[in-house]
């Protein structure tokens, strides 16, 4: 997997991955033009869409209704170091019997992004000089 960002101006970046593009920016209160989601909002969106994918896969394989499914993810900031410290994932809008309620939550716990956040990955930093 790979994503490439390109600086545009101010606090705005263009993100591209597999030919898809989106804009990441900061709100006006943080010096930006508010023309895209912030990096933490993109992280929440990533967690929510991953959780939603796993929930939908569970529902579809059991021929259960997927219409109206929503996933809401919230996070609280933490300090020292600055980070998002507590996440909450809410699966909403689906009506299922009791036995499926816990199973959907177990399915969502299998989400790649969820597991990445629970098990700290190795992150390598590198600085490459611009070519002439």
Compute the distance between CA of residue 79 and CA of residue 61 in angstroms, rounded to an integer: 41
Token output for 65: 């209704």
Q: Tell me what pLDDT residue 64 has.
A: 95
Location of structure tokens 């597999």: 18
> Residues 127, 116, 57, 101: is their CA dihedral positive or negative?
negative
**74 - beta bridge partners?**
88
Domain 38-121 fold: GMP Synthetase; Chain A, domain 3 (3.30.300)
Q: Tell me what pLDDT residue 130 has.
A: 86
Question: CB 95: neighbour CB atoms within 10 A?
Answer: 8
The whole-model pTM stands at 0.92
Q: What are phi and psi of 11, to 5 degrees?
A: -120, 20
Q: Tell me what pLDDT residue 81 has.
A: 95
Q: Tell me what pLDDT residue 98 has.
A: 86
Q: What are phi and psi of 89, to 5 degrees?
A: -110, 125
Instruction: Identify the three-state secondary structure at position 6.
Output: strand
Q: Could you list the pLDDT tens digit for every one of the 132 residues in the chain?
A: 999 999 999 999 999 999 999 999 999 999 999 999 999 999 999 999 999 999 999 999 999 999 999 999 999 999 999 999 999 999 999 988 888 999 999 999 999 999 999 999 999 999 999 887
Looking at the chain, the number of H-run helices and the number of E-run strands are 3, 5
């Amino acid at each position: 997997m790979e994503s490439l960002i390109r600086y545009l101006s101010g606090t705005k970046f263009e993100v591209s991955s597999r030919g898809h593009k989106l804009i990441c920016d900061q709100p006006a209160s943080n010096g930006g033009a508010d023309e895209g989601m912030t990096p933490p909002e993109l992280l929440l969106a990533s967690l929510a869409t991953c959780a939603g994918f796993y929930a939908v896969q569970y529902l579809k394989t059991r021929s259960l209704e997927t219409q109206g499914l929503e996933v809401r993810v919230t996070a609280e900031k933490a300090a020292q170091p600055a980070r998002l410290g507590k996440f909450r994932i809410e699966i909403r809008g689906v009506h299922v019997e009791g036995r499926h309620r816990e199973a959907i939550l177990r399915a969502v716990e299998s989400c790649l992004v969820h597991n990445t956040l629970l098990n700290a990955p190795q992150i390598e930093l590198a600085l490459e000089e611009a070519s002439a």
